[in-house]
Structure 1
Amino acid sequence: MLFEKIARPGLYRLAYHDPELVHERTVRLLSRVGPALGPLARVYGTDDPVTVLGLRFPNRVGLAAGMDKNGRALTAWPALGFGFVEVGTVTRHAQPGNPKPRLFSLPESDAVINRMGFNNDGAEALARRLAAQGKPRVPLGISIGKSKVTPLDEAVADYRFSLRALHPYADYFAINVSSPNTPGLRALQDKAALGELLAELRKTSAELGGDTPLLVKVAPDLTDEALAELLEVCLGHGVAGLIATNTTLSRDGVAPAEAHLATETGGLSGRPLTARSLEVVRFVHQHTEGKLPIIGVGGILGPDDAGRLLDAGASLVQLYTGFALHGPALVRRVSRGVAGRPA
């Protein structure tokens, strides 16, 4: 495809000296040309509608949070075949994220390590962009997290602010309490902290007069006991679904030739996460007896990976590292490879 021939060399191979620069140029280019990419939907798009979370998705394959944090290229993603888009993670306060370098490509491992630290323009800036430019033509998820400057004991107010600011635009919210790159954030997965956070967010959502689904994004590094406890809290507070999983602190699966990069701090994503994401999705589905819809994400490098997640209990899947490394052809292969499966 012409688009692949033009874009792949400069935009989709992160095995470059500065992968964050490649990422930034990708999003910048797509933000500029997005409206002109509409015809590409005939090439990359898949017509496989499914209803999940009370929302109609044109296909099961979504763009995970992290690729377009500030919602700059929302017209482009559906043209590249995505059935839904998740922007963010966005925080109450604009923040630059962690010092650079903070993104490392591991091409031999089909993986990426990042310690970005929720770099974003802030919830109000995203709200202004969505108000001015409108939403994409596919369901829009918004991932919200805690600002680094906000003390952990004030995290609830931080999340509530972002929820209020972005409530008019989200088709669902992803509550990110599992990134390894914000100090203390994963403590919000603990029973008491998560219960308080979810109770307040449900209350805030009700006050806003809407029933926007709230999903919790979980870490792959939780023990079965901790994950079971988290699920009980989610069920008890009426969470609409789970996103499984975030990046991992483990370095299992990194190719020996890239062992020097494995010493970098941050979350690992891509092929090394494939097996663990599948385990977590299966555990969530079995432990909740299928009561919570699951978005499976982590280590999807082909249709077989996505198919196994769906067989394990996921209703939808998301791509991030696989898309960054291999481009939009992966979206087409995955969405067509899983098309027609029962909801």
Structure 2
Amino acid sequence: MTVFERVVRPQLFRLGGGDAEAAHEWTLRRLTALSRRPVALAALRARYAVQAPRTVFGVRFPNPVGLAAGMDKDGAALAAWPALGFGFVEVGTVTAHAQPGNPRPRLFRLPGSEAVVNRMGFNNAGAAALAARLDALPRPIGVPLGISLGKSKVTPLEDAVGDYLTSYRALQGHGDYFAVNVSSPNTPGLRSLQDRAHLDALLSALVGEKPILVKIAPDLTEAAIAELLEVCLARGAAGVIATNTTLSRDGLAPADSARGAETGGLSGRPLTGRARDVVAFVHSETGGRLPIIGVGGVLDPDDAARMVDAGAALVQLYTGFIYRGPALVRASARAAARVAATAVAPDPVAGR
């Protein structure tokens, strides 16, 4: 076990009487403060940064492991994440309208399963506030910035395209790529935007100057994923993020059954196999034409390596970072880079 797992994690898990969101907020405040300390950031970079560059959908990534959306929704601690070893950072999910999200408690740890259930509900300060924060950054963060876009809860589904466009236009100058989140289980009706007609209209409006990726649910059937991929290819999407959280509760430890019954999306170890299967299906179905960011259940370096072996060009961490800390970022970046370097066939997504 690492020092983080032996010492830091137990302390974090006790904060707020064990409330997971209290620990998250405490950590984010500390990382935000750290972002203003160049000497400390340099020391962390010396320990955790991994140089294993690759170019995907036209963007150069210093290493293939990034921070998934949801950890730093409003971009409060942007300078800290690259210092902890991340090769890219995805902020959000951000919506056109500021919204508080769902009532608390809404974030639950399931330690016996190395999992998390969340029903956050896209709590964020809104696209305009994020744009203002990014405008005020004293310097670039040094790694690509992805921005996850979602639909505001107050916006009817029939007006979803306009809602996404509002956010995109406010933030277009700041993101190196944009993720279209149409797969969170925590905004009513949102997952219906994965249907052919809705997704076609959405991508028709958004695809253009910046790479647009579609984040998909792990609960879709292969037929539904294949239909979604047809739309992505036809409309010029730059790639797919596979996957979001799941509504399934398969694979939970018996001790976590009660807390696992909480409403929301499940992430972590129970999702490892399904997320990797979806990545493999997308890669096979598209013949490598759509770059994939693999996310879901990456809790050790072997998970990252197998994600890349399944067809992912890049990998993201969320729950794994909660349970393993920054050592996982460094080890996963090295493992993913080794698999990519030893691939027999040329990388089909390089230089796109």
Q: What residue is the counterpart of 1:286 in the other structure?
A: 284
In 2: Cα distance, 1:246 partner to 1:14 partner: 27
Q: Which of 139, 149, 155 in structure 2 is aligned with 1:150?
A: 155
Alignment of 1:49-128 (within 5 A): 49-128=53-132
The alignment covers a number of residue pairs equal to: 336
Is 1:169 the counterpart of 2:174? The answer is yes
Q: SS of the residue aligned with 1:246?
A: coil
Query: Offset at 1:34?
Result: 1.8
Is 1:266 the counterpart of 2:264? The answer is yes
Is 1:45 the counterpart of 2:43? The answer is no
In 1: Cα distance, 2:263 partner to 2:45 partner: 38
Deviation digits for residues 149-202 of structure 1 (CA, Å, limit 9, x no counterpart): 101111100000000000010000000000000000000000001101110112
Q: SS of the residue aligned with 1:181?
A: coil
Does the CA contact (< 8 Å) of 1:15 and 1:105 recur in 2? no
Does the CA contact (< 8 Å) of 2:16 and 2:22 recur in 1? no
Does the CA contact (< 8 Å) of 1:12 and 1:327 recur in 2? no
Query: Offset at 1:313?
Result: 0.6
Does the CA contact (< 8 Å) of 1:15 and 1:106 recur in 2? no
Deviation digits for residues 251-307 of structure 1 (CA, Å, limit 9, x no counterpart): 001100110012111000000000000110000000001000000000001111111
Change beyond 3 A, Cα 1:5–1:301: closer
Does the CA contact (< 8 Å) of 1:242 and 1:294 recur in 2? yes
Q: What residue is the counterpart of 1:26 in the other structure?
A: 27
In 1: Cα distance, 2:32 partner to 2:124 partner: 16
In 2: Cα distance, 1:277 partner to 1:327 partner: 21
Q: What residue is the counterpart of 1:208 in the other structure?
A: none
In 2: Cα distance, 1:227 partner to 1:278 partner: 14
Q: SS of the residue aligned with 1:259?
A: helix
Q: What residue is the counterpart of 1:179 in the other structure?
A: 184
Does the CA contact (< 8 Å) of 1:10 and 1:22 recur in 2? no
Query: Offset at 1:16?
Result: 5.8
Q: What residue is the counterpart of 2:325 in the other structure?
A: 327
Q: What residue is the counterpart of 2:273 in the other structure?
A: 275
* Structure-1-length-normalised TM-score: 0.94
Q: What residue is the counterpart of 2:312 in the other structure?
A: 314
Change beyond 3 A, Cα 1:338–1:279: same
Query: Offset at 1:136?
Result: 1.4
In 2: Cα distance, 1:55 partner to 1:192 partner: 29
In 2: Cα distance, 1:264 partner to 1:247 partner: 14
Does the CA contact (< 8 Å) of 1:40 and 1:80 recur in 2? yes
Query: Offset at 1:324?
Result: 1.2
Q: What residue is the counterpart of 2:344 in the other structure?
A: none
Unmatched tracts of structure 1, length 5 or more: 206-210
Deviation digits for residues 93-142 of structure 1 (CA, Å, limit 9, x no counterpart): 00000001100000110000000000000000000000001541100000
Change beyond 3 A, Cα 1:6–1:262: closer
Query: Offset at 1:30?
Result: 0.3
In 2: Cα distance, 1:9 partner to 1:38 partner: 26
Percent of pairs identical after alignment? 65
Query: Offset at 1:5?
Result: 8.0
Q: Which of 117, 130, 135 in structure 2 is aligned with 1:131?
A: 135
Change beyond 3 A, Cα 1:254–1:303: same
After the TM superposition, which of the residue ranges 163-172 and 323-332 deviates more from structure 2? 323-332
Unmatched tracts of structure 2, length 5 or more: 342-346, 348-352
Query: Offset at 1:63?
Result: 0.2
Change beyond 3 A, Cα 1:180–1:14: farther
Does the CA contact (< 8 Å) of 2:5 and 2:324 recur in 1? no
In 1: Cα distance, 2:265 partner to 2:64 partner: 25
Query: Offset at 1:336?
Result: 1.8
* Structure-2-length-normalised TM-score: 0.92
Q: SS of the residue aligned with 1:338?
A: helix
Query: Offset at 1:233?
Result: 0.5
Q: SS of the residue aligned with 2:275?
A: helix
In 2: Cα distance, 1:265 partner to 1:178 partner: 15
Alignment of 1:186-225 (within 5 A): 186-202=191-207, 205=208, 211-225=209-223
Q: What residue is the counterpart of 2:239 in the other structure?
A: 241
In 1: Cα distance, 2:17 partner to 2:323 partner: 11
